[in-house]
Amino acid sequence: MTKLEKVDFTIETLDRLYPEIPIPLDHKDPYTLLIAVLLSAQSTDIRVNQITPLLFAKADNPSEMIKLSVEEIRDIIRPVGLSPMKSKGIHGLSHILLNEHDGQVPESFEALEALPAVGHKTASVVMSQAFGVPAFPIDTHIHRLLYRWGFSSGKNVVQSEKDAKRLFPKSLWNKLHLQIIWYGREYSPARGWDLDRDIITKNIGRASVIAKYYKLKKR
C-alpha cells in the first residue's frame, strides 16, 4: 500500500468500528471538561470519572471551586494521583478564570496553556471537544499507534502530532483522535496485544513492529 492508501484504510476502518464515538471523560460544560482532562494526566479515564462527581458535587464552576481550599481539593482528588500539583492547578486556574476571563474557559490555545497545570495536550482536548476547534491531542494510545502504523517515528508526542496533522484531513481530526484512542484500548493495547485482532496494524503496520511481535510470541 502507498502511504495515502494506508491513511484511507485507517480512516475507513475506524469509521466502520466507531461510527459514533463518545468523549471518554464525563463533563457538562467546558469548565468541568477542563478539570477532568487536567485530572486525567497519568491516570485513567475510569478513575477520573469516579472522582469528578465527588469534586463537582462540591464545586462545578470557578466561583464555587475557589471557596474550597487547596487541601480540600487535594483530599477529594487524591485517588487520581499527582494530587498536590493538580489541586494547586485547579485552585489557581479557577482564580484566573474569574479574574481574567469573566469565569469562562477561554477559547484559545494561548490562553488555555497560560493556565496553571494546563499543557498543550489538555488545551487541545478542550479546544477540540468543548469548542469544536480542529485539534489532534496526542495521548499514549495515539502515540503508540502512529508508530505501529508507520505514520510517525515515535520520537516524541510533538512529532507525532505534527505527523498526524500532516497525514489526516483537518476536518476529521476531532473525531479521529477519539476513534484512535478507543481503537488503541480495544484492539491495540500496550500490554496483552493480539495482532490477529489488531486489524489496522496487521494490514498496514510497520514491518519491524510486526516482526518483533511474532519473535516475542515464539518465546
- Positions marked active-site: 121, 139
What is the model's pTM? 0.91
Residue 207: C-alpha distances to residues 120, 202, 214 (Å):
31, 10, 11
Within-domain flag for 25: no
Cβ 25 vs Cβ 48: under 8 Å: yes
CA torsion 39-40-46-52 (nearest 10°) is 20
Q: Note the pLDDT of residue 212.
A: 92
Give the CATH number for residue 188.
1.10.1670.10
Q: What is the pLDDT of residue 122?
A: 96
CATH of the domain at 52: 1.10.340.30
Number of separate domains in the chain = 2
For residue 199, is it within any domain? Answer: yes
List, for the chain, all residue ranges whose pLDDT scores fall below the cut of 70: 219
Q: How far apart are CA 168 and CA 163, in angstroms?
A: 9
Which pLDDT does position 67 carry in this prediction?
98
Range of the domain at 193: 3-20+137-218
Alpha-carbon separation of residue 213 from 116, 152, 153, 191 (angstroms): 41, 18, 18, 12
Q: Tell me the pLDDT tens digit for each residue of 127-184.
A: 999 999 999 999 888 999 999 999 999 889 999 999 999 999 999 999 999 999 999 9
